[in-house]
Amino acid sequence: MTHDHASKDIHPAGDNHPGDDLSARLDGQADDPARVEAHLAECAECAHRFRELKTVSDAVKGLPGPTVSDAFALRIAARIRRPAPRLRYWPAASGLLAAAATIVIIAAVVLSLRQPAPILTTTRAEDISPAGESALVADILLGADASPLDYGFPVPGDTPEISPEELILALSASGWFEDAAEAWEAETDIDELVQSLDQTQQMEFKRLLRTYEEGAQI
């Protein structure tokens, strides 16, 4: 009989030894606990091995855990209460749409704040300037009672009011994203661009960006 099992893979197995059931007995999960008990009463080698396994098991059970601060649950509560930006349509393309929407919002806000929004009377989509479109976007973002029809802007269906998703769809169809992105990229320095706005415009710009980040609009 040997008691030096630790350096080997040691669960006495075979016809007469319980093998992995020895370890499982510790957890009350042996396939045949009565057989293991009977074997332990007769086999000093397995009885010794069982005591060793129990010491290892107890040692791990006794390890202390880290202290959990009260702030832990509060931080999670804060995270789950903050709605994630979400698009209801086109879930597979939501990342692309979110990126496009960001361009729309930033460019629209900046463009609309830098120049007075023209009053558009045309009903022809090809006559609508990017600035006019940005005015529409800005009006909607600002909560104005805006209808794309007021701007002569084509939208899917004949709905008099427009949802953010419909707006993106319509803007995408008219190639507006490319125009806006080009206009945006022409301004090489975003800080410079923002600084060109007056204080009121900057505050409105930041408010709109914050609104977007909180997922309230799109």
Partner 1 sequence: MVSPEPASNRRHPELWASKGVLQDGSEAGNPAVDMQEWPLVERAQQGDTEAFTLLVRRYQQPVIHFCYRMLASAQDAEDVAQETFVRLYRYLDRLQPDAKFSTVLFGIARNLTLNHLRDTKRRGRGATDPLENHAGLAANSRGPDQAARLGEIQAVVEQGLQELSPDHREVLVLREINGLDYEAIARVLECRIGTVKSRIARARDQLQARIRHLGGDFI
Residues lying near partner 1 in the complex (CB under 8 A): 6-7, 9-11, 19-20, 22-24, 27-29, 51-66, 68, 72-73, 75-77, 79-81
Could you tell me the smallest distance in angstroms from the CB atom of residue 33 to partner 1? 11
* Min CB(101)–partner 1 separation in Å: 21
The closest alpha carbon to 2, from 43, 57, 40, 41, belongs to 43
> For residues 80 and 152, is the Cβ–Cβ distance under 8 A?
no
How near is the Cβ of 36 to partner 1 at its closest, in Å? 13
> In angstroms, rounded to a whole number, what is the distance separating the alpha carbons of residues 112 and 118?
9
Of residues 3 and 207, the one with the C-beta less far from partner 1: 3
Nearer to partner 1, 76 or 144 (CB): 76
Cα–Cα separations (whole angstroms), residue 60 to 26, 111, 115: 13, 63, 69
**For partner 1, the closer CB: 57 or 123:** 57
CB of 78 to partner 1, least distance (A): 10
Q: How far is the CB of 79 from partner 1 (least distance, A)?
A: 5
Query: Residue 98 Cβ, how far from partner 1 at the closest point, in Å?
Result: 17
Query: Cα dist. 8→2, 3, 12, 75, 132 in Å?
Result: 12, 11, 11, 47, 79
Residue nearer to partner 1 on the CB measure, 77 or 216 = 77
Nearer to partner 1, 81 or 124 (CB): 81
Q: Rg of the chain's alpha carbons, rounded to an integer? A: 34
Coil, strand or helix at 153: coil
Long-range contacts of 95-103 (CB under 8 A, 24+ apart): 97/168, 98/218, 100/168, 100/172, 100/177, 101/164, 101/168, 101/212, 101/218, 102/212, 103/177, 103/180, 103/181, 103/184
Residue whose CB is less far from partner 1, 29 or 129: 29
